Amino acid sequence: MSDTNIQNPPRPSTLPFEQQQQLTKIFGEGGVFAQRLPHYRTRHEQLEMAQAVTQALNDVGCAVLEAGTGTGKTFAYLAPALMWGGKVIVSTGTKTLQDQLFERDLPTVRDVLAAPVSIALLKGRSNYVCHYHLERTLLNGRLFGREDVKHLNRIKKDLNLVKRGDKAEWPDIPDDAQVWAQVTSTRENCLGSDCPNHKECFVMQARKDAQAADVVVVNHHLFFADVMLREEGIAELLPAANTVIFDEAHQVPDIASVFFGQQVSTAQIVDLARDFLAEGITHARDALDWSALKDRMERAVKDFRIACGEDNGRWSADQLPSDSPLWTALDTLIDTLEDSLKTIEPSTVRAETLAQCAERLSGLITAYIQWRDQTGLDMVRWIEAMTYSVRLNATPLSVAEGFTRQRESDHLRTWIFASATLSVKKDFSLFTEQLGLNDAVTATWDSPFDYPKQGLLYVPEGLPEPSHRAFGNAMLDKVWPVLQASNGRAFLLCTTLAAVKRYAAWLDEQIKTHDLPWTLLVQGSASRTELLNQYRAANHPVLVGSQSFWEGVDVRGEALSLVIIDKLPFAPPDDPVLAARLKAIEEKGENGFMTYQVPQAVINLKQGAGRLIRSETDKGVLMICDTRLISKPYGRRIWQSLPAFARTRQEEVVRTFFSETT
């Protein structure tokens, strides 16, 4: 990969003198941030990034900006955007950061700068309680247990007290609670202007607020849903925006791939079958046997899942022989759906909700047929079999063309992509090529933290490679003395969910055997927010997690003094989309592993490593248990992309580090 697009941060002299002065008054020593915010620290990296954002706004251009942890990138893009950005959309990778921006960062910057701008928060409709579906659920009791009933009553009780009807306003109800699916709407089952609760609809109010606001905070999923569907809440916003800012921009290529492709799941059929039963019994009980209809649709789904084999997994459709039972089961599923639609159609005149269900069924039939019959070299068709459902996916090999077309089709605007992890040794090629950002100005700023003094990178000696069957036990033997030295206070980040279960079980046994006052927290035992709250409250916590804890997690101070990563985060080699992309790269005469897999692993590893040092006073050890970091030629490229920790392979050096810092 070439370094042709690497550029230094723009010099202050490239900006008009008035803007230079304003930015210095905002970010400089004795500036308004320093005066108004008690814990604010002046950082030249933050000022330079703000200058780069301002230059992009002046040029109505595209900027890809990487700023290390502690730079203060959020303020660096918000201040210029509020001062000179016009109508601004800020898109984030997670709902957690979305809430943080809306509730804390944006109001803070706006108030300090006395900027006369209005702000709004807009999420996908599945985040807002729907009055109609709430009442329907209360009437027909489609719930699964006592906990669901408790949650439902709580939502009903608080409905007139909350401001936005946002799930986040019920923090004590888990984000994955089954009740949410019953009291929110989807694009398919929303009644729109025909809804009896249209005037009090939280989704409609959120959209109105967003249309009127100067700055709107969305997330990447909603942004791309709008790009593709123009029906998901910002259809009137995007054309009017002068500036689009992607925070956590490293996630954009993968999320864009989902929305520029196609997904359809058998879970949608099961949900629809249950809706048919509820609506049919309510409005057309005498028309047909609604229970038998539901059972027939669910049976076809089960047969399709059985045809995929016993194990969960994912594979390319091109790998399946033409006589695979999966194709026969898919045809049978489509036939069942088509027969069901014919059976239902005479009853749709009885109620608008039944007609809407029939429309959803027709849409699902079309989606399954399109997936089955799709051809083309630019899309990868693949199947994902889960415990009870099957998802059919069609993913583009590249989103560059589609995203470029989207950027060019709308009126001229500024595009800002910001993250702590966008480059590999300051080379942005992977990211810019994935999105077709050939016109982007790129710049990077290192973290202001003193990594050689604050952190230690430890790669233990004597471990087999991760592919060796003895790796798991050998790794745990190396991990345990380090955990004892740190007295817990650790994240163990795994590359697979299977590893999470295995290592957590082993750690639980060790903690009990040694009678240690440690708190073991395991991904899946509670929501991510709840686990992090428990972690911060515990004295000697150890959290074992996978991908969802590699990024977007901020634990400061001694509570997190050790981050252990089991393996370099390469995508699984049997991933059908990865295999197709590597094949396409190699057909061009390039090395797919070095061109694509290594840079992708670097960006993911930088995210995991970024959990450790979160402030100027943090100290800790990053332990990577993958000797390929040392033994393979590409390993140097990987560790050189990490923060400049002091490095060791000796356990004794780690013990000394902890004894001197505790």
Q: Helix 471-486 and helix 651-661: axis angle, to 10°?
A: 30
Residue-level pLDDT at 137: 85
Closest CA to 185 of 208, 202, 164, 205: 202
Q: How far apart are CA 54 and CA 61, in angstroms?
A: 10
Mean pLDDT of 567-577: 88
Residue-level pLDDT at 44: 94
List the beta strands (DSSP E) in 478-619: 490-493, 519-522, 541-545, 562-565
pTM: 0.89
CATH architecture of 12-118+213-259+400-445: 3-Layer(aba) Sandwich (3.40)
Q: Helix 44-59 and helix 73-84: axis angle, to 10°?
A: 40
Using DSSP's 3-state secondary structure scheme, residue 521 falls into: strand
Q: Is the pLDDT of residue 143 over 80?
A: no
**Residue spans in the chain of domains classed CATH 3.40.50.300:** 12-118+213-259+400-445, 451-661
Neighbours of 301 (CB within 10 A): 23
Residue with tokens 């745990």: 476
Query: How, if at all, do strands 379-385 and 390-396 pair?
Result: antiparallel
Residue-level pLDDT at 458: 97
6-37 residue pLDDT tens? 444 444 458 999 999 999 999 999 999 999 99
Mean pLDDT of 486-495: 95
581-619 residue pLDDT tens? 999 999 999 999 999 999 999 999 999 999 999 989 999
CATH architecture of 451-661: 3-Layer(aba) Sandwich (3.40)
DSSP code, position 439: T
Mean of the per-residue pLDDT values of the chain: 90
Phi and psi torsions of 342, nearest 5°: -65, -40
241-296 residue pLDDT tens? 899 999 999 999 999 999 889 999 999 999 899 889 988 998 999 999 999 999 99
Q: Is the pLDDT of residue 437 over 80?
A: yes
Dihedral over alpha carbons 425, 430, 433, 434 (to 10 degrees): -140
Please say whether the beta carbons of 52 and 444 come within 8 A: no
Task: Name the more confident of 91 and 1.
Answer: 91
Residue-level pLDDT at 141: 63
64-73 residue pLDDT tens? 999 999 999 9
Residue-level pLDDT at 231: 44
Q: How far apart are CA 559 and CA 521, in angstroms?
A: 13
Mean pLDDT of 196-221: 92
Residue-level pLDDT at 186: 82
Residue-level pLDDT at 9: 47
Q: Is the pLDDT of residue 459 over 60?
A: yes
- Rg value, the chain, Cα: 26
Q: Which of 139-148, 160-169, 227-236, 418-427 has the lowest mean pLDDT?
A: 227-236
Q: What whole-number percentage of the chain has pLDDT above 70? A: 95
Q: Is the pLDDT of residue 643 over 80?
A: yes
Residue-level pLDDT at 138: 85
In SS3 terms, 207-261 reads as HHHHHHCCEEEEEHHHHHHHHHHCCCCCCCCHHHCCEEEECCHHHHHHHHHHHCC
Give the best-scoring range by mean pLDDT among 76-85, 519-528, 549-558. Answer: 76-85
Phi and psi torsions of 81, nearest 5°: -65, -40
The secondary element (H helix, E strand) that includes residue 478 is helix 471-486
Residue partners of 35: CB distance under 8 A and separation at least 6: none
Confidence at 226, pLDDT banded by 50, 70, 90: confident
